[in-house]
């Protein structure tokens, strides 16, 4: 029994070492890409989410408006319309599942773990008070997709509030 446990522990150590090596490669790739570095400046968005967004969207010119990026990823309500009936349901879950989940986790981090104030966080917390944290996380994830696309196309960095630092001084 001891030999089996020792073999499993060696295998575990090898896997952990490989994970560290791959994480270092991913961070190196992110540092070399200007777009990914700008995307990481958004609160809650990490290296993997930024790389996933850049890989999934690929060409930001595919969308006329940044708001289309959220719909492309399936972060909009599913609509049922028939005759006089019009209902909106849960998110449509179209598009890339990995990126949708990553943006949801980024929204969770923004709403729960990041202490610094931002207009995006206050908007999400207002939604959470009205409709609950799950709906707020989906709404913030959609808004993050819109913001990431806008940052990519405009080339501007993320602004924590609507006022520029020069206006605050």
Q: Among 157, 141, 154, which Cα is nearest to 53's?
A: 141
What residues pair up with 85 in beta bridges, in sequence order?
82
Cβ 4 vs Cβ 10: under 8 Å: no
Whole-model pTM: value is 0.80
Which token pair is 37? 């570095």
The predicted structure's pLDDT at residue 74: 81
Residue 81, pLDDT score:
72
User: Under 8 Å CB-to-CB from 43, ≥6 apart: which residues?
Assistant: 109, 110, 114, 116, 118, 120, 121, 158, 160
Q: What is the average per-residue pLDDT within 120-138?
A: 90
* pLDDT one-digit tens code per residue, 50-63: 999 999 988 888 88
Stronger pLDDT, 88 or 55, i.e. the higher one: 55
- 168: pLDDT strictly greater than 50: no
pLDDT of residue 169: 43
pLDDT 10s digits, 14-47: 999 999 999 999 999 988 999 999 999 898 999 9
CB-CB contact of 72 with 63 (8 Å): yes
């Amino acid at each position: 029994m001891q030999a089996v446990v020792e073999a499993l522990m060696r295998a575990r150590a090898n896997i952990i070492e490989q994970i560290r090596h791959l994480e270092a490669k991913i961070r190196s790739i992110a540092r070399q890409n200007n777009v990914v570095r700008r995307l990481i400046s958004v609160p809650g968005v990490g290296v993997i989410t930024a790389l996933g967004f850049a890989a999934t969207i690929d060409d930001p010119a595919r969308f006329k408006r940044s708001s289309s990026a959220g719909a492309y990823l399936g972060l909009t309500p599913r609509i049922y319309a028939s005759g006089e009936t019009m209902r909106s349901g849960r998110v449509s879950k179209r598009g890339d599942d990995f990126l949708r989940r990553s943006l949801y986790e980024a929204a969770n981090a923004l709403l729960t773990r990041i202490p610094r104030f931002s207009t995006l966080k206050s908007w999400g917390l207002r939604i959470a008070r009205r409709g609950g944290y799950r709906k707020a996380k989906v709404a913030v994830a959609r808004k993050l997709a819109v913001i990431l696309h806008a940052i990519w196309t405009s080339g501007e960095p993320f602004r924590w509030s609507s006022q520029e630092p020069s206006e605050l001084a």
